[in-house]
């Protein structure tokens, strides 16, 4: 997967940070300058960090490891869910349920319940009233909205990719507690030191989120292709 060029990142507005008064001093190494009260991210650092994160994701995908995509911000939901689905990775884009990873056994029970409802609704031999069917369908849709992106996982992910560490602080805290690797887009108002692979970038603009996510997804695809080739050669 080709790394986005400097101009690609520039055109996507990846360099636009937050107002200076909102900055996190720990982002200083990734800031190029201040312009009209707004911090400008150093795109050379972004490219370096992006390549490092992409290489690590490719290696993980090649090893058959799962990376969960997490982005519940409105402007990131569709981009991230589509990207995760394209590489068959789990994702959370509606609401992060507290304990989604630290209390994974409970989440697995909810997923099992959703799958059981599916079977019940599809089985023509099960005798249920119209009202019961409606109630089950509503319950199933509620579960699907929150758990649909992780319905097919039976174990914790090996890593998570997060858009906006401040917004997804609960997911970050759970991953850190469990020793799960964290990849993340980190804007100038956040602490890059709370993640393993920080990618300094504008985490508010959809174009910026898109260019970063697409590159990382491409790296995962490359890793999956290598894995398939390795299997065939074995």
Q: With b meaning 16 or more CB within 10 Å and e meaning fewer, what string describes 116-144?
A: ebeeeeeeeeeeeeeeeeeebeeebeebe
* CATH classification code of 6-101+156-233: 3.40.50.10490
pTM comes to 0.91
**In whole angstroms, what is the distance from residue 190 CA to residue 23 CA?**
7
Q: Which range (73-87, 128-142, 151-165) has the least confidence?
A: 128-142
List, by residue range, all CATH 3.40.50.10490 domains of the chain: 6-101+156-233
List, by residue range, all CATH 1.10.287 domains of the chain: 104-149
104-149 CATH pick, 1.10.150, 1.10.287, 1.10.3470, 3.10.350: 1.10.287
> pLDDT tens digits for 74-115?
999 999 999 999 999 999 999 898 899 999 988 888 888 888
């Amino acid at each position: 997967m080709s790394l986005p060029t400097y101009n690609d990142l520039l055109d996507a507005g990846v360099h636009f940070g937050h107002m200076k008064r909102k900055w996190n001093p720990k982002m200083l190494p990734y800031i190029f300058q201040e312009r009209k009260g707004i911090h400008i991210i150093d795109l050379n650092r972004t490219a370096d960090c992006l390549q490092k994160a992409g290489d690590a994701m490719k290696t993980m995908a090649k090893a058959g490891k799962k990376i969960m995509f997490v982005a519940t911000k409105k402007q990131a939901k569709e981009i991230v869910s589509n990207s995760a689905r394209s590489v068959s990775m789990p994702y959370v884009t509606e609401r992060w349920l507290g304990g989604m990873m630290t209390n994974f056994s409970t989440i697995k029970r909810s997923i099992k319940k959703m799958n059981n409802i599916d079977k019940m609704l599809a089985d023509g031999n099960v005798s249920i009233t119209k009202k019961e069917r409606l109630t089950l369908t509503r319950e199933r849709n509620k579960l699907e909205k929150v758990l649909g992106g992780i319905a097919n996982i039976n174990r914790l992910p090996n890593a998570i990719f997060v858009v906006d560490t401040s917004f997804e602080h609960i997911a970050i805290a759970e991953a850190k507690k469990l020793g799960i690797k964290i990849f993340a887009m980190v804007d100038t108002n956040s602490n890059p030191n709370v993640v393993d692979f920080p990618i300094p970038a504008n985490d508010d603009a959809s174009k910026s989120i898109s260019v970063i996510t697409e590159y990382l997804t491409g790296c995962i695809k490359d890793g999956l292709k290598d894995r398939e080739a390795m299997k065939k050669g074995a």
